[in-house]
Amino acid sequence: MRSNAAKSMLYSAIAGGYDRTYAEPTHRRVYDRLAFEHVAALDLPERATIVDVGCGTGRWVPHFLERGHAVIGIERAPGMIAALRERTLGAGFRLIEDAMEQAEIAPDSADLVLGMGSVQYSSDPTAMLARFATWVRPGGHVCLYVDSLVALVVELIRTGRVEEAMRSLSTRRGLFEQAGHSASLRLYDRDSLESDFTAAGLVEVRSHGLAVGATALGRAGLTAAMQADEEQTMAGERVLSDDRSMTDCGLHILTIGRKPGA
């Protein structure tokens, strides 16, 4: 659980300005917008039950509530929870203040389980994904995005951190550092992530690269492109995201799978 505790401290430390980093035209806004577009395109029931694992400040929750869905958020970082409680979300939202490994969700009760940048911090991401698959009912979906091994190794080499790049390539681990804190996370390529989805019993598995342009331009370069023309940049990123050959080049890999049945 050490990585989970480190993640909790890190995300608590950055909670105050967290939403702003996605509202401004930065590289983060690229992958946030793309991820939500892919999720919003899923065929959900009219009044779906959605489990948002690592819901953070609840940035996505209002979008689901506006569509008539119910949301169960799972979050353990106190700073994120404090920011979340400042929102007026109403009866359609329920928060579980716990780690994802301990959170209790009834089997076959959700239509969609989301893990947007959270599962890679868990003590056993493969086992955690398998647990998510038990939460969704037949016909429901699991959707995760995780950090890309390929994109990080390329970034580290490009910025002169070759030794660190080789270490990440060997260990398949990365380090997220912000506000004087750091948290270790698992890195994925498309094949390894899709293999975990299949092992969890999910079918119709598909993946998308998010913020592919950051691998070519750097995070600052993609941010500059967004500031110059957000919609043109997003149009190009959508094309890249839908091209399977570019998946591993995204800063993040978003993968969706469906539970068989119904």
pLDDT on residue 1: 45
| Torsion 129-97-117-164 (CA) sign | negative
Residue 262 has pLDDT above 80, yes or no: no
**pLDDT classification of 16: cutoffs 50, 70, 90:** confident
% residues pLDDT > 70 (the chain)? 98
Region 18-26 average pLDDT: 92
Inter-residue contact 78 to 8 (CB < 8 Å) = yes
Helix axes 213-228, 27-40, angle to 10 degrees: 100
Q: How many CA atoms lie within 13 A of 219 on its CB side?
A: 14
Yes or no: domain 2-258 corresponds to CATH 3.40.50.150: yes
Helix axes 149-158, 213-228, angle to 10 degrees: 80
Residue 31 has pLDDT above 50, yes or no: yes
Burial of 206 (0-12, 13-18, 19+ CB in 10 A): middle
Region 2-12 average pLDDT: 78
- What tokens were used for 164? 């660190």
pTM of the entire structure? 0.95
pLDDT tens sequence across 63-108: 999 999 999 999 999 999 999 999 889 899 999 999 999 999 999 9
> In this predicted structure, which of 4-13, 132-141, 228-237 has the lowest mean pLDDT?
4-13
* 252-258, strands of its sheet edge to edge: 93-96, 70-74, 49-53, 110-116, 136-147, 252-258, 203-210
Region 179-204 average pLDDT: 95
Residue 169 has pLDDT above 80, yes or no: yes
Burial of 259 (0-12, 13-18, 19+ CB in 10 A): buried
Q: Which residues pair with 255 in a beta bridge?
A: 144, 207
pLDDT on residue 7: 83
Helix axes 162-171, 149-158, angle to 10 degrees: 160
Residue 2 has pLDDT above 60, yes or no: no
Region 124-146 average pLDDT: 97
Query: Rounded distance, CA 139 to CA 71, Å?
Result: 18
Inter-residue contact 54 to 84 (CB < 8 Å) = no
Coil vs helix vs strand at 99: coil
Query: Rounded distance, CA 210 to CA 28, Å?
Result: 10
**Mean pLDDT of all residues belonging to the chain:** 94
